[in-house]
Structures are given as structure tokens and as C-alpha cells.
A and B are shown apart, each in its own frame.
Chain A
């Protein structure tokens, strides 16, 4: 019997409490052990639910805040083709945010409440979006490195133990890898262009490399939630393992592009068959996560402003829907 069947039998009218908590826990553990999916109506431990709400919501917030650094360039994109690509990408990100908020709502969270938590700074979003985009090359580097890191993180999440999250990730990963190729292609075009364009790319790579490595979170020995998330198969690999995969994937791409990565310790390790690399500035990551990065204040302020300035619009939509429903009821009654 799967955990899902337990959930439905309770709905079919089985007296509450007939199954002892221990049985439910056992079924849950078995489902996880068999690599089966937990679905919204299944019993799950409180800790599992809470951890997932936190992770999925922060993932959703990251998509929404992540619209800002690139959205900055929509009105300044230097060709109509690039402008169209940016529009499509930022639109996709809003869509990803919507999928993820829906996934969070299957856990009993409420989107309006999550939004409130975001704009009050009570829930976080990816540290990376607190870095500014001063040049157009940043748009390409975000596609290549930031989306690249996101893909390393997210592809394993397509097998996450929570069904709605895993399914959202399948859709998101397809679109993300498309964005990543487009970002890389922009950089390729710029590297084949003028000297000023090549400098712009290198400068952007220098600024984004370390923050991209920090997207995988703190080192394993300093990541308290990781072990539990891995035991629950919410997460499939450790931060350090994913970071290593990202480096191994990215270094050859940098070579092909003709840029250097700003790490003097970066070199191929024959024995390990992987790249060795330097240590990110973990103190910087802590500062950024705790709200003191270059753009934290602006990012949250922008989100808050959009939310507050939109109150009257949302109220109008609700009032109109209520009037419509009332008219319909009257029509039916008449």
C-alpha cells in the first residue's frame, strides 16, 4: 500500500486516527525508500512539509526577483532580436514563478501570504539576484553561468520526492536550458565582435563567477538542512557535489568562449578527473543572504512597490468578479 492510498481511504470515511502515527510514518518512509512520489493528499511529516514549503517558495521568489536584473535591459537591448529574446525569457520566469507558487499551494501554503513574506524579508530568494547588471554582457553571463548553475541544481530536482515540485521542475528545466543556450550564444556573438564587446564579456564573467558558485549554498559541513533534505530525497546531491559538477561543465565552455575564469587555483586534477578550484568568499555569501548584498534593498523594494501599487487593481478585479457572480445568481433566480 502506498501513502497515497492511506490518504484516500481516510477520505472515504475511515474513522480518523484509525491508523496510528507510526504506521503513517512507516508508509511515508517506504514510499521515499522505493523512490515513489509523495502527492498533496498523502500524509507527510510536518518537517517535510515545512521544509518543502520553504524551499519551493524560495524557489518561486527567486524566479520573480530574478526577473529584475535582466528586465533592467529590456528597454535598452541593442538589437530587436535580443530584445525579443529578453522579453520571452522574463516572461518565462514569471511563468516559472507561477508554477512554483502553485506547487507550494498544494502543500497548504497561500500565495498571497508567501508574497507578503517575501516583501517583508521573512523568506529568502537566491543570493545571485542581489548582484547588479551594469552592462549588457551581464545578460549573456546570467544566461550562461546563472542559468547554468540553476540547471545543475534543478535537473536532479526533477526526481525530487514531492510530485508537484518534481513535475514543475521538468517544465522549468526545459525552458532554462533554452535560456542558457541563448545566453551563451549572445556571449559568443560578443566575443567575435569588437574589442570593447570582448572586454565587456570578460568583465561580466569576472563579476559573476564567484556569485554563481555561491548559488549552490554553503559548503557541506556548514549546511545544516542538507542531510535531512537528502534523506527525504527532496534534494538528491550535496551542495559541494553540485558545485563541482557545475565547475566541470563550465570550464570547457569558458575555454571555447575565450574568456578566463577569475580563479588562480582553478586547474584540472588528473587523479580526481575533475577540476580543483578556489574557495568562494563564504563571508560574502553570508552577508548577501542576510540582506546586505549590493542590491538586496532595491530588489525587495521594487517587489514591494509593485505589490502595493497594484492593490487597487487587485481589489477592482475582486469587486468586479463579485458583481458578476451576483448578477449571474440573479439571472439564474429570475
Chain B
């Protein structure tokens, strides 16, 4: 595969959506209420749809999803983080969907090659963000137990948020401005949810942006093993 600026950008955005979709799929049958079975599957399905379009811009979607090894994936470390409890999952959703909505709204307004995809996806992502915000409010400003769990989820994932604003080659956006808008949106929402805005470094597991270079956290390899095993066990088969 020749990695051009175009494919690198499509892979970065596509891998984010693919990996987060997969993590949400792990909730199937485990959600705290039936309505959330529907909602989480719905969000996962939207993300998978985005991933398929983006990966197809970079090559063959199945080859890219199933035959790359860990070091070749370009997703953020944030989206590969294990689900944890429901609050942890919601914190991950809040951080990512806010980022994705701001980014896609910007791309949709431009004339770049991702404008068409972003215009369609931003409507879905607005729903994802609303879902994450509503749950952050419910859990943060719910019971003592839920407040504490929500705070813990926000704190634990905070360090993975810096990498979202490391420039991706081929994605035309003012990253510093994006980060500012993100902090404002997430900060405001956390305060409304009676939560503290975390203060620690946003440096990621290696360095911020390492995921974009194929350096991932340990749980990711296991996730790929599960995701890819059947496809890899039957080389050349169609499904």
C-alpha cells in the first residue's frame, strides 16, 4: 500500500471510528438498560459506517481492518481504551464525540476531500455527543456513587485527550483552535455535571500523538486478536 497524505488521513479518521465501534460492540448484552443496548449499538453502527467509507478511501476496507497488525493502526489511543464501567465508557464517548463533532463540522464546512463524508457524519456525531452529554449529566449529577464513578472515568481518560489535537497530515484544520473549542465544550459540560475538570497532563501513554504513529497501549493487541482471528483463519475467503 502506498501511503499518501490522503490515505494517511483517511486511515487516522477511519481507524478511530473502527476501533471505537468495536469497543462499543463489546457492550452488546451487557448494557445497564435495554434502551442503552439500542443506543450503544446505534452509535457503534454509525461509527462503523464512517469507518467503512474512510477505509475504502484508503484501500480495501476488509484488508485494512483485518490484515494490518497493531503497529500499522493509526487510531487514537483514547478509542482503544477498554470499556471499563458505564461511566468510563461515557467519559470516552464524551471526549471523543466532542472532538469528532468539532472536527467534522469544520471539515464539512470546507472543500477538502473529507467534506462529503463529514457532512453526512456530523449529523450522526451530533447525536453521539448529545447521548454522551446527557449521560455525563445524569451520572455526574445523579447519586454519590455515580458521581464518583463518572469523575474517575473522566480522570482516568484525561491523559489520552492531548493526542486528539496532534496534527494529522492531510486533515486541514487549525488544531490549536480545535483544542480550545474542545476544552471549552467539555469543561463547560463537566462543570454543569458537577464534576471537576481534570488537571493532569494530556500526554498519552507514550507521547501525545503516538497512536497516530502506530504506537498503541497494551489492551489494543488483544482487541485486534479477537477482531481479526476468524478473517485471518480463512485466507482469501469471502463472507
A75 at the interface (CB under 8 A from B): yes
B109 at the interface (CB under 8 A from A): no
B230 contact from A98, A136, A310, A317, Cβ within 8 A: A136
Identify which of residues 143-169 in chain B touch chain A, using a CB-to-CB cut-off of 8 Å.
143, 145-146, 149
B71 at the interface (CB under 8 A from A): no
Contact A320 B137 (CB under 8 A): yes
With a CB–CB cut-off of 8 A, which chain B residues contact A303?
Answer: 29
Contact B32 A196 (CB under 8 A): no
Q: Interface readout for A302-334 with B: 1 if CB under 8 Å, 0 if not?
A: 110110011111111101110100000000000
Contact A312 B230 (CB under 8 A): no
Q: Distance (Å) between the CB of A175 and the closest chain B CB?
A: 13
Q: Distance (Å) between the CB of A112 and the closest chain B CB?
A: 10
Number of interface residues of A (CB under 8 A): 50
Identify which of residues 282-312 in chain A touch chain B, using a CB-to-CB cut-off of 8 Å.
302-303, 305-306, 309-312
Q: Known interface pairs A75-B227, A319-B143. Does A90 touch B35 (Cβ–Cβ under 8 Å)?
A: no
Q: Which chain A residue shows the least CB distance to B32?
A: A310
Q: Distance (Å) between the CB of A127 and the closest chain B CB?
A: 19
Q: Known interface pairs A94-B37, A310-B33. Does A71 touch B28 (Cβ–Cβ under 8 Å)?
A: yes
> For the complex, would chain A's binding face be called helix, strand, loop or mixed by DSSP majority?
helix
Q: Known interface pairs A80-B62, A90-B28. Does A316 touch B145 (Cβ–Cβ under 8 Å)?
A: yes
| Interface size, B (range) | 35 or more
Identify which of residues 59-82 in chain A touch chain B, using a CB-to-CB cut-off of 8 Å.
64, 67-68, 71, 74-82
Contact A79 B62 (CB under 8 A): yes
Q: Which chain B residue shows the least CB distance to A71?
A: B28
Q: Distance (Å) between the CB of B44 and the closest chain A CB?
A: 6
Q: Known interface pairs A194-B237, A319-B142. Does A80 touch B29 (Cβ–Cβ under 8 Å)?
A: no
Contact A194 B236 (CB under 8 A): yes
Contact B142 A316 (CB under 8 A): yes
A189 at the interface (CB under 8 A from B): yes
Contact A91 B38 (CB under 8 A): yes
Q: Which chain B residue shows the least CB distance to A73?
A: B230
A316 contact from B55, B146, B239, Cβ within 8 A: B146
Q: Distance (Å) between the CB of A319 and the closest chain B CB?
A: 5
Top 3 nearest A-B pairs (CB, nearest first) are A310-B32, A316-B142, A316-B146
Chosen A-B contacts, 27 in total, with CB atoms closer than 8 Å, are A67-B29, A71-B28, A76-B229, A77-B230, A78-B230, A78-B231, A78-B237, A79-B231, A80-B52, A80-B65, A82-B239, A84-B45, A87-B44, A87-B45, A91-B45, A94-B34, A94-B37, A98-B35, A193-B237, A194-B236, A309-B30, A309-B32, A314-B32, A315-B142, A316-B139, A320-B141, A321-B138
Taking Cβ atoms with an 8 Å cutoff, the residues of A that contact B are 64, 67-68, 71, 74-84, 87-88, 90-91, 94-95, 97-98, 101, 136, 186, 189-190, 192-194, 196-197, 302-303, 305-306, 309-317, 319-321, 323
Q: A67-B37, A80-B61, A84-B48 are in contact. List 13 more A-B contacts (CB 8 A).
A: A64-B34, A67-B29, A71-B28, A74-B28, A75-B25, A80-B55, A84-B45, A87-B41, A98-B38, A305-B30, A311-B32, A319-B142, A320-B141
